[in-house]
């Protein structure tokens, strides 16, 4: 199994490889710069590198089942991941808005992605944050991790978006902007997943635009107000339960609720002295 996994890491082609490592290959520490970490569980339920592992394989399963699991991981995830990174192509993802969770592992998954982004682009960033519904405990969400990278200006955002490929992400084609609470668009860069097993959106935003702060305010306000979180969840479910709601339509339909909520959140921020903290 270790040789099988190592082969992808060393496959020669133009552009970056998908870097992977299994427990028996990693040593005491998982090195930086990896795109995917595969752990082999020994049945104890304990691993010194648990937070770094993306995929667990059952090392106690019969040999035939272990081989089947490796083959499925190889064909369904690792090979297309490598091909997508090399070609700069985003992974396929569901186009209908389907909610799941809440999943208590979402923050841990986001933390792994943020560590890899920071390793690839950290020197040019002001901050990197887990945002969106998966960042609010108790809130259902699409099976999609949202990350926000705040940088000094738009030229830096373009540079950061290009270098995010070193963390296993690819540039989303097109002109992107994030709307503030008043609906005004602010240019940004967006990078997305090449990994078909973990959908991710990364919004790279200049600090001169208000969107990055409003995004963090909305997250922290929902965390502090379970009643508002639940009202937001009910609105999201009502939208997602509609007939074949496309993800873009779903996102647009949420904007009026979010804009109104940000007015309440600003009052809370003023009353409590809230500042954009990490997390």
C-beta atoms surrounding 169 within 10 Å:
30
Whether 101 and 141 have beta carbons less than 8 Å apart is answered as yes
Instruction: Report how far residue 127's alpha carbon sits from residue 276's, in angstroms, rounded to the nearest whole number.
Output: 10
**pLDDT value of residue 56:** 84
**pLDDT value of residue 82:** 86
Domains and CATH numbers, the chain: 2-87 (no CATH), 99-272 (3.30.460.10)
**pLDDT value of residue 4:** 41
- Of residues 48 and 217, more confidently modeled: 217
Give pLDDT tens digits for 143-184. Answer: 999 999 999 999 999 999 999 998 999 999 889 999 999 999
Give pLDDT tens digits for 77-135. Answer: 988 998 888 888 888 887 788 888 899 999 999 999 999 999 999 888 999 999 999 99
Instruction: Report how far residue 59's alpha carbon sits from residue 126's, in angstroms, rounded to the nearest whole number.
Output: 41
**pLDDT value of residue 103:** 92
**pLDDT value of residue 39:** 78
What is the percentage of the chain residues whose pLDDT exceeds 90? 54
Above 60 in pLDDT, residue 191?
yes
**pLDDT value of residue 23:** 38
List Cα–Cα distances, 263 to 21, 86, 183, 225, 235, in angstroms.
46, 44, 13, 14, 17
Decide the pairing of beta strands 36-41 and 20-21.
Answer: parallel
Give pLDDT tens digits for 5-41. Answer: 444 444 444 444 444 443 333 444 555 667 888 877 7
Q: What is the average pLDDT across 245-255?
A: 87
Question: How does the average pLDDT of the chain come out, rounded?
Answer: 84
Q: pLDDT band for position 278 (50/70/90)?
A: low
**pLDDT value of residue 33:** 67
Both tokens of 163, joined, read 């270098």
**pLDDT value of residue 1:** 35
Q: pLDDT band for position 70 (50/70/90)?
A: confident
Above 50 in pLDDT, residue 74?
yes
Instruction: Report how far residue 129's alpha carbon sits from residue 135's, in angstroms, rounded to the nearest whole number.
Output: 9
Above 70 in pLDDT, residue 141?
yes
**pLDDT value of residue 179:** 95
């Amino acid at each position: 199994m270790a040789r099988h996994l190592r082969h992808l890491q060393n496959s020669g082609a133009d552009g970056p490889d998908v870097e992977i490592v299994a427990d028996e290959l990693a040593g005491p520490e998982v090195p930086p710069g990896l795109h995917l970490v595969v752990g082999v569980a020994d049945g104890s339920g304990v691993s010194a590198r648990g937070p770094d592992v993306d995929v667990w394989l059952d090392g106690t399963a019969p040999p035939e089942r272990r081989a089947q699991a490796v083959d499925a991981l190889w064909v369904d995830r690792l090979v297309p991941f490598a091909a997508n990174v090399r070609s700069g192509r985003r992974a396929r993802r569901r186009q209908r808005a389907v909610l799941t969770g809440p999943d208590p592992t979402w923050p841990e998954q986001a933390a792994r992605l943020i560590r890899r982004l920071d390793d690839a682009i950290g020197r040019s960033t002001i901050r990197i944050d887990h945002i969106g519904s998966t960042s609010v405990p108790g809130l259902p969400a699409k099976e999609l991790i949202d990350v926000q990278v705040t940088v000094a200006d738009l030229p830096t955002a373009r540079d950061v978006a290009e270098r995010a490929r070193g963390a296993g992400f690819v540039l989303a084609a097109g002109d992107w902007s994030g709307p503030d609470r008043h609906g005004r668009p602010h240019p940004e860069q967006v990078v997305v997943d090449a990994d078909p097993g973990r959908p991710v959106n990364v919004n790279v935003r200049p600090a001169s635009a208000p969107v990055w702060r409003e995004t963090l305010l909305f997250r922290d306000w929902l965390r502090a107000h379970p009643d508002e979180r639940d009202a937001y969840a009910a609105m999201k479910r009502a939208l997602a339960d509609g007939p074949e709601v496309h993800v873009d339509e779903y996102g647009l339909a949420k904007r009026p609720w979010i804009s109104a909520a940000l007015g309440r959140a600003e009052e809370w921020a003023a009353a409590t002295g809230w500042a954009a903290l990490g997390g």
